[in-house]
Amino acid sequence: MGELYLESRLELLRSSQNPDGGWGYFRGKQSWLEPTAYAMLALHGTPDSEASLDRAWKLIRSWQLPNGSFRPGGEVQDGTWVTAQAVTLACVRGLYDPNVTRSVDWMLRVVGAEHSVAMRTASYFHLLKTKLDVSHQGWPWRDGNASWIEPTVHTLVALKKVAQHYPSAELQHRVREGEAMILTRRCSDGGWNCGNPNVLNFDLPSYPETTGLALIGLQGRSPAELAGPLATARRFLAETKSSLAKAWLTIALRFHGENPASAPEDAKVSGDVMLAALQTLGHPAGNYRLLQTGGRA
Amino acid sequence: MNRRKFLILGGAAVVGTYAGTKLQKPPKLPDGPAGNSGVAIIRARSYSDDLVARMLEGIRECGLDVRGKRVLLKPNLVEFDSSTVINTDASVIAAAVEVFERLGAAEVKIGEGPGHRRDTLDLADDARYRATVPKFERIFTDLNRDDVSPIRNFAGESRFYFPNTVLAADLIVSLAKMKTHHWAGATLSMKNFFGIVPGSVYGWPKNKLHYLGISESIVALNRAFRNTFAIVDGVVGMEGNGPIQGTPKPAGVLVMGRDLVAVDATCCRVMGIDPEKLTYLRQAADLGHVRAERIEQRGETVAAVRTNFALIDEYKDLRLG
C-alpha cells in the first residue's frame, strides 16, 4: 500500500537533485537550503540514497557562516531561519560537533524584535496597532525582525532535537518561551496564521498550513491543552484544497497520535520539490518521525 | 525616578509626539519631475465588459510601446476569501495577457509572491487564475521561490535580493487592486511591488520591509524598478478594513499610467482619499506627480467616477474634501 504515491514523489526527488548536491524549489532551479532539507529528510534511509545525501549535506555545510547561522542558498550572503533546518538535519545525521554548537548558540542569541524593551513599553501603553502579547520570545525569519510562527516552529524542532546533546538552562528556557509565544498567537477562530491574530482590533483568520506547523512546534503539550487546535486542524484537513496545507496538517496530526486518511494513490505529483518532499514525509510509510521531537526539551 | 514614573513620563512623551505629528499640517509637496504625467481612467462597469478593448484604449492614451519587450505582469494575489474581493480579478489578468501579446511584447509572464500564504498555486486556483488565464501555469512564476540575484544599495541595505524573473523583465506591469489598507491607508499600484520581494530570503510575511518602514519600502521598490506601467483594477475595489477584510466596493474603472505615483494619486482621488496625506505618496513625490494640477487626466475625469471608499476610524482624516 502507498507505493505508487510514495515512489512517484521519491522519483521526483531523486531525479531533480542539482549537480551541486542541493535541490531547488523546482527542478532545474538554484539550490536552496529549505527544499534541500526536506528532500534529504524524505530520502533519508531510502535505498541507494547515501551518496546523494552526503553531497547535499556537504553543500549545506558550505553555507554555514562564521557566526553559526546558515545562508538560505548559494546566492544569499546572510544567515536566516534555515539555520534551524540545518541543525535538525545534523541531528538526523547524528552530528553534534562544534559547528552545530555554533548554530545552537546563534539560535539562542536571536530573539524576535517585538520582544525589545521599546516594543514591550509600547505594548504596556497600548500603543501597538496589533493586540500582540510581546512578553514571550519567539524567532524571526531574519535576525532583527519580529518573530513569527513558522520560524519559531522550525527552531523549536531543532532545539528539542539537539537538547540532550546541548544541556543548557537557556535552551530549556527558550523552548518554553517559544511554545508560550505560539500559544499566545492563536487566532480567535482556533488555529494560527503567520503569527498576527489581530490588527487594529480586527481579528484575523487562521491558515491551515500554519495551524499544522504550530502543532508541530507544540509536540509534547498535553492533548487536553490542544483539544481545540487539534479540532481546528482536523477541520482544516477535511476542508482545505491546498496540498501544502494537507502535508503539514497530516504530519502534525500524526505527532499528536492521530492517523489521518492517506492521500489517494494516484494523487498527481506536481513539479514542486518541497511539496513532494513534505508529502513523502507525511505518508504513513514516510519519514515524518524525523521531525518528531518526543516532547519538550 | 522609579519605574512607574519613568513609564508614565515616557508614555506621555510618546503620546505627545504622536499627537503633535498628527496635528501638524503637512508641508507643501515638491514639484516632482519635469513635465506632467498622463493617467487614463477608463470605465469598466463589470468584469464581463470587453476588458481587452478597455485596456487597449487606456494604453493608447498613455502612449506605451511594448514591442519586443519582455513583460512581467504582477497581479495582487494576497489571500482568498469568497465573501470579498482581495485579489486582482482573474479576467483583468487574462485581458492583460492578451493585450500585451497583441501589442507585440516579446514575452508575457505573470509573477507573484504572496506575503502571507506559501501555497501560491493553491491561491491562484482559489482566485480562478488557473481556470481563467490561458496557459497560466506555463507563464506563471512564484516569485517567493524563484532564483534570486542581489542588487546594490536598496533602502539603505548594501545588498537586497530580487527574483531573477523580475530582474530580467524589460517592463513590469503592476496589475493592482484598488483597496484601502490598514497600515498604508491605500494599497494600489506602488505597494503591489511588495510581492516581488522573495519570501525564500525575507519570509512570510516579508517582515524586513516592515522594519525598513512600509512607506519607505514602497518608495524604495518603485525607485529600484523604474520600467513600469500600472493597470489598477477598480472595477470592484475594496473599502473599509482592507487589504483583506474589507468589503467589495464597485468603482467601475480601470486606472492606467506610466507614472505609478500619479496613478496611485488618481486612484486615491477616485476613492475619496486625499493622496497628499498618504505618507508613501509624499515620500515618492520626486519619482512622480501627486498634485492634481500636474496630472493630465485622460478618459474619464475623477469627478465623473469618484465614489468614496469607506475608511476605518484610524484613517478618517484621509478623506478628500
Question: What is the per-residue pLDDT across A219-233, written as a single tens digit (0 to 9) for each?
Answer: 999 999 999 999 999
Set of cell numbers at residue A266: 494516484
Measured distance CA(B63)–CA(A214) in Å, rounded: 51
pLDDT tens for B263-277 read: 999 999 999 999 999
Shortest Cα distance, chain B CAs vs residue A212, angstroms: 13
CA atoms within 13 A on the CB side of A237: 24
Chain B contact present for A243, CB below 8 A: yes
Chain A residues near residue B201 by CB distance under 8 angstroms: 72-73, 76, 80
pLDDT tens for B132-162 read: 999 999 999 999 999 999 999 999 999 999 9
pLDDT tens for A52-106 read: 999 999 999 999 999 999 999 999 999 999 999 999 999 999 999 999 999 999 9
Please give the pLDDT value at position A130: 75
pLDDT band at A1 (very low <50, low <70, confident <90, very high): very low
pLDDT at residue B215 is higher than 70: yes
Which CATH number do you get for residue B54?
Answer: 3.40.50
Q: Are B32 and B289 in contact (CB under 8 A)?
A: yes
User: Could you tell me which residue, A236 or A269, shows the higher pLDDT?
Assistant: A236
Chain B residues near residue A126 by CB distance under 8 angstroms: none
Measured distance CA(A278)–CA(B191) in Å, rounded: 33
Chain A contact present for B47, CB below 8 A: no
Lowest mean pLDDT, pick from A156-170, B27-41, B67-81, B106-120: B27-41
pLDDT tens for A33-61 read: 999 999 999 999 999 999 999 999 999 99
Shortest Cα distance, chain A CAs vs residue B314, angstroms: 8
**Residue B26 domain flag:** no
Please give the pLDDT value at position A119: 84
Task: Give just the sign of the alpha carbon dihedral B22, B28, B30, B32.
Answer: positive
**Residue B17 domain flag:** no
Q: Looking at this protein, which amino acid is placed at residue B97?
A: V
pLDDT at residue A150 is higher than 50: yes
Task: Give just the sign of the alpha carbon dihedral B280, B286, B288, B291.
Answer: positive
Q: Which DSSP letter does residue A65 get?
A: -
Q: What percent of chain A has pLDDT over 90?
A: 84
Q: In this complex, which of B81, B122, B208 lies closest to A243 when CB atoms are compared?
A: B122
Measured distance CA(A40)–CA(B79) in Å, rounded: 31
φ, ψ for residue B75 (rounded to 5)? -75, 175
Q: What part of A 208-227 touches B (C-beta under 8 Å)?
A: 209
**Residue B3 domain flag:** no
Q: Do A127 and B14 touch (CB under 8 A)?
A: yes
Chain A contact present for B146, CB below 8 A: yes
Set of cell numbers at residue A214: 504550530
Backbone dihedral region of B75: left (phi > 0), alpha (psi from -120 to 50 degrees) or beta?
Answer: beta
**Structural domains of chain B, count:** 1
Stretch B247-257: mean pLDDT: 98
Stretch A143-158: mean pLDDT: 97
Q: Do A150 and B204 touch (CB under 8 A)?
A: yes
Stretch B197-222: mean pLDDT: 97
Lowest mean pLDDT, pick from A124-138, A173-187, B11-25, B302-316: B11-25
Minimum CA–CA partner of B209 in chain A: A145
Q: In this complex, which of B147, B204, B245 lies closest to A194 when CB atoms are compared?
A: B204
Q: Which DSSP letter does residue A267 get?
A: P
Measured distance CA(A216)–CA(A209) in Å, rounded: 11
Q: Do B200 and A34 touch (CB under 8 A)?
A: yes
Q: Are A86 and A72 in contact (CB under 8 A)?
A: no
Quick one: which of B160, B134, B274, B272 has its CA closest to B220? B160
The pTM is what? 0.94
pLDDT at residue A13 is higher than 90: yes
Measured distance CA(B31)–CA(B62) in Å, rounded: 21
Kindly report whether the peptide bond that precedes residue B250 is cis, defined as omega within 30 degrees of 0: no
Chain B residues near residue A121 by CB distance under 8 angstroms: 7, 10-11
Q: In this complex, which of A145, A204, A209 lies closest to B211 when CB atoms are compared?
A: A145
Owning domain of residue B255: 31-318
DSSP-based three-state secondary structure for A137 = coil
**Residue B1 domain flag:** no
Please give the pLDDT value at position B13: 53
Chain A contact present for B145, CB below 8 A: yes
Minimum CA–CA partner of A149 in chain B: B204
Could you give the angle at which helices A149-162 and A169-184 cross, rounded to 10 degrees? 150
Chain A contact present for B125, CB below 8 A: yes
CA atoms within 13 A on the CB side of A30: 17
Shortest Cα distance, chain A CAs vs residue B118, angstroms: 8
Helix (H) or strand (E) holding A203: strand A202-203
DSSP-based three-state secondary structure for A63 = coil
Q: In this complex, which of A75, A146, A151 lies closest to B149 when CB atoms are compared?
A: A75
Q: In this complex, which of A73, A142, A242 lies closest to B202 when CB atoms are compared?
A: A142
Shortest Cα distance, chain A CAs vs residue B127, angstroms: 13
Q: Are A42 and A30 in contact (CB under 8 A)?
A: no
**Residue B61 domain flag:** yes
Shortest Cα distance, chain A CAs vs residue B117, angstroms: 8
Chain A residues near residue B211 by CB distance under 8 angstroms: 113, 144-146
Shortest Cα distance, chain A CAs vs residue B119, angstroms: 6
Q: What part of A 107-166 touches B (C-beta under 8 Å)?
A: 113, 121-122, 124-125, 127, 129, 140-142, 144-146, 148, 150-151
Please give the pLDDT value at position B8: 53
**Residue B5 domain flag:** no
pLDDT band at A2 (very low <50, low <70, confident <90, very high): low
* Interface probe with B: pick from A150, A152, A202, A273, most Cβ of B within 10 Å: A202
Please give the pLDDT value at position B239: 98
Chain A residues near residue B183 by CB distance under 8 angstroms: 129
pLDDT at residue A259 is higher than 60: yes
Please give the pLDDT value at position A3: 79
Complex confidence, ipTM: 0.95
**Residue B11 domain flag:** no
CA atoms within 13 A on the CB side of A255: 33
**Residue B21 domain flag:** no
Chain A contact present for B207, CB below 8 A: yes
Q: In this complex, which of A30, A34, A207 lies closest to B147 when CB atoms are compared?
A: A30
Shortest Cα distance, chain B CAs vs residue A48, angstroms: 29
pLDDT band at A186 (very low <50, low <70, confident <90, very high): very high
Measured distance CA(A22)–CA(A274) in Å, rounded: 12
